[in-house]
Homo-oligomer: A and B are copies of this chain.
Amino acid sequence: MASQNTSQAGRAPSRRRGHERVAALLAAASDCFVEKGYDATTMTEIAARAGASIGSLYQFFPTKESVAEALITGHANGLNEHMERLLAQTPDWTTEELADHLLRAFADYRKRHPAFVALVEVAGSLPSMLGRTIRQRMRDYLSQILAIHAPGLPAGDLRPAAMVVQQLMKAAVALDGEQPATLRKAAQNQLQHALSLYLGQLAARR
């Protein structure tokens, strides 16, 4: 009797049409979040932008937070794959190459998923601790990468170093929005150089 309720919100799509709608809604939401931020985007605008009605949106996402969560978990998976690839190739790279891949490749990932940064920011103040989880996992990956690249580093120094690298990656993302382009590229090169110096110094320790 209570097992199924036809007009319950938050159902997962089962038919083909539903999956398309969900995809369109998420894409629209992503655009909105990028342009106006989480707080300023409205459910009405998300629906309109996806060519759907407000009721259709609430059919699949019972709450505004649930929309953000869906986007974040999707991005989190993509980021994990990305870090997995970096980790696998770390043994083959010099210090300069590692610095380049950590900064540039990550910035590229963000450029392909523009909503990612904005969402991880708000995810910290969301009830679900998704934001913390993502940052924590990223830190774990960086620790592993550092352990490979700087084998002489004591285990206790890995996490602080990973935190520093994480902040430098965040800085690279921030620099990505700078204008004009020549200044931006110069600054990004400098940042990469700074990371190289730091990584090199870590690897030289024993």
* A interface with B by C-beta (< 8 Å): 37, 39-40, 125, 157, 159-161, 163-164, 167-168, 170-171, 174-175, 178, 183, 186-187, 189-191, 193-195, 197-198, 201
Measured between beta carbons, the chain B residues less than 8 angstroms from A37 are: 125
What are 22 A-B residue pairs whose CB atoms fall within 8 Å in the complex?
A37-B125, A39-B40, A157-B190, A159-B183, A159-B187, A160-B183, A160-B190, A163-B187, A164-B171, A164-B187, A164-B194, A167-B174, A167-B191, A168-B194, A193-B198, A193-B201, A194-B194, A194-B198, A197-B197, A197-B198, A197-B201, A198-B198
- Count this chain's copies in the assembly: 2
How far does the alpha carbon of A168 sit from the alpha carbon of B201 in the complex, in Å?
A: 18
CB distance from A121 to the nearest CB of B (A): 9
Measured between beta carbons, the chain B residues less than 8 angstroms from A183 are: 159-160, 163
Measured between beta carbons, the chain B residues less than 8 angstroms from A163 are: 175, 178, 183, 187, 190
Measured between beta carbons, the chain B residues less than 8 angstroms from A186 are: 157, 159-160
CB distance from A90 to the nearest CB of B (A): 19
How far does the alpha carbon of A35 sit from the alpha carbon of B75 in the complex, in Å?
A: 28
